[in-house]
A = this chain, B = another copy of it.
Amino acid sequence: MANAKQVSGKLEWRINVPDGTSNVLVPESDQLVNKVWLWLKGLLCGPILIIWRFLYKAWNLGVAEPKKAIHGVKVGLSLLIVSFFYYMRPLYDGVGGNAMWAVMTVVVVFESTVGATLSKCFNRTIGTFLAGSLALGVQWIADKSGETFQPIIIGISVFLLASAATFSRFIPSVKTRFDYGAMIFILTFSLVTVSGYRVDRLFEMAYQRLSTIAIGTSLCIFITMVFCPIWAGSGLHDLIVRNLEKLADSLDGCVGEYFKDDKTKLDNEEDPSKRMQGYKCVLNSKATEEVMANLARWEPAHGRFNFRHPWKQYLKIGTSMRECAYCIEALNSCINSEIQAPDYLKKHLSNVCMLLSTNSSEVLKELVITMKTLTKSSKIDLLIGEMNLAVQKVQDSLNSLPNSFIGPTVSTLQAPNDANKETITKTAIPSLMEVFPLASLVYLLIEIAARAEGIADAVDQLAGLAEFELAMDENSKQKKLTSNCTSDIQDHETMKTLPKLVQYMLHKYIGR
């Protein structure tokens, strides 16, 4: 811009504004041209920009999750195939004008996950069948009762059944599983009874409607399950695994961030805040988990999951994960607190706290492996024992604190320079207020360990319900192969059967 002005060499009026910038005064005729130009530009570019942005977003989404784009293609393909019912003469004659219902079924029933598609297919078929039969019955009664009563009977039955079915959609058990079926029930019942008054070929109509729906649903089921199927169950499983990983990362990130030195802060270039915020995904995934668990129940055996895989247990794991995430949320606020504990106190507790958080996150990571491999972990009880041991260590180092709490000597603290020396001497006897964020952090870490154990219990229940096999870690495998030291494996097995308290005592007093 500045260059162009120099070339044109026009006279310019500048106003120097107090904040240091300067505005150029543009002559009025130029302003008008500019305004018109801007208006035209806005008029032309506005919609183009909006469409461009929309397409850009869509492209990004498609690149990030190609499954969604594939789903679009699958729907297009299904509709294309259904259209053949119109194009091909023999098919057309067979199913008649009602082939429209096949198109409609495909559009309405085809959902992105297999579970949702199956659920809708089931609901649509059963809803249509039940409502159709009932409507035929009502029609028969209405026919027998003479022309005066016919519309009254039909009207009352439509009113009553539609009201009842609509109300039933609010009942939780119906809502989660048969909401769509109830809607289809009302739709079919109304259409069949009301058309029955006009259309004489009622049976034929009901038959055609059912057969077209059968064609539509079977096509949908075939395509959704054969071409790149998207399983709600696998999705739920992956979501839980991902969230477990995020929890472990958040915990590591938060505690590491709090206890790390300024030197480490400079060395570590990667922004840890994103990693620390992972727990927020856990907080917000309740609704998704519930929807997916509901849909997964409709799905047949797929991949490594059986038909009756205990999907409900995933909700319990999710709940226990959220309980852990609440604590990490509170922990996060401790870390960002304005009041900070004195450095020497932080150092005193740094090691044990880091140990506890590492042990807790190791338990979570072991659970991730358990979930990923669908095998019972042989190490988990050991890790939980270690975690509990770390809790004990934290408590011990707190108990040993009152001695140093009264005031440490400056010499033991290795003050880096003279400026800090004075500060340390001053904060040597800290008020409780200064200790409190740290106290809260320690308390929350202990609470998080307890809640991580809760997650481990929930995963263990899942392992029991889904009959996970026992995993053998690499060490055990090798040892078993060489047959050098089988006692270790026996120890592991024995450890697993011991109640946790005994394990904990063993750890504490024998160091195993």
In the complex, which residues of chain B have a beta carbon less than 8 angstroms from the beta carbon of A73?
163
Given contacts A75-B162, A159-B80, contact A333 B86 (CB under 8 A): no
Within 8 A of B (CB), among A183-216: 183, 186-187, 190-191, 194-195, 197-198
A44-61 interface mask toward B, CB cutoff 8 Å, 1 = contact, 0 = none?
000000000010011001
Determine whether A442 belongs to the interface, using a CB cutoff of 8 Å to chain B. yes
In the complex, which residues of chain B have a beta carbon less than 8 angstroms from the beta carbon of A183?
107-108
Given contacts A155-B83, A333-B327, contact A166 B71 (CB under 8 A): yes
In the complex, which residues of chain B have a beta carbon less than 8 angstroms from the beta carbon of A429?
402
Determine whether A36 belongs to the interface, using a CB cutoff of 8 Å to chain B. no
In the complex, which residues of chain B have a beta carbon less than 8 angstroms from the beta carbon of A86?
194-195, 197-198
Determine whether A334 belongs to the interface, using a CB cutoff of 8 Å to chain B. yes
Q: Is B61 touching A401 in the complex (CB atoms < 8 A)?
A: no
Within the complex, the shortest CB–CB distance from A366 to chain B, in Å, comes to 24
Interface residues on A, range: 35 or more
In the complex, which residues of chain B have a beta carbon less than 8 angstroms from the beta carbon of A198?
86, 92
Within 8 A of B (CB), among A148-204: 151, 154-155, 158-168, 170-171, 173, 183, 186-187, 190-191, 194-195, 197-198
Count of identical protomers in the assembly: 2
Determine whether A410 belongs to the interface, using a CB cutoff of 8 Å to chain B. no
In the complex, which residues of chain B have a beta carbon less than 8 angstroms from the beta carbon of A431?
398-399, 401-402
Q: Is A79 touching B162 in the complex (CB atoms < 8 A)?
A: yes
- Select A61's contact among B110, B170, B284, beta carbons within 8 Å: B170
- Select A439's contact among B58, B110, B333, B435, beta carbons within 8 Å: B435
In the complex, which residues of chain B have a beta carbon less than 8 angstroms from the beta carbon of A322?
283
Given contacts A198-B86, A330-B447, A443-B437, contact A432 B401 (CB under 8 A): yes
- A interface vs B, CB < 8 Å? 54, 57-58, 61-62, 65, 68-69, 71-73, 75-77, 79-80, 82-83, 86-87, 92, 100, 103-104, 107-108, 110, 112, 151, 154-155, 158-168, 170-171, 173, 183, 186-187, 190-191, 194-195, 197-198, 283-284, 286-287, 322-323, 326-327, 329-330, 333-334, 337, 395, 398-399, 401-402, 405, 429, 431-433, 435-437, 439-440, 442-444, 447
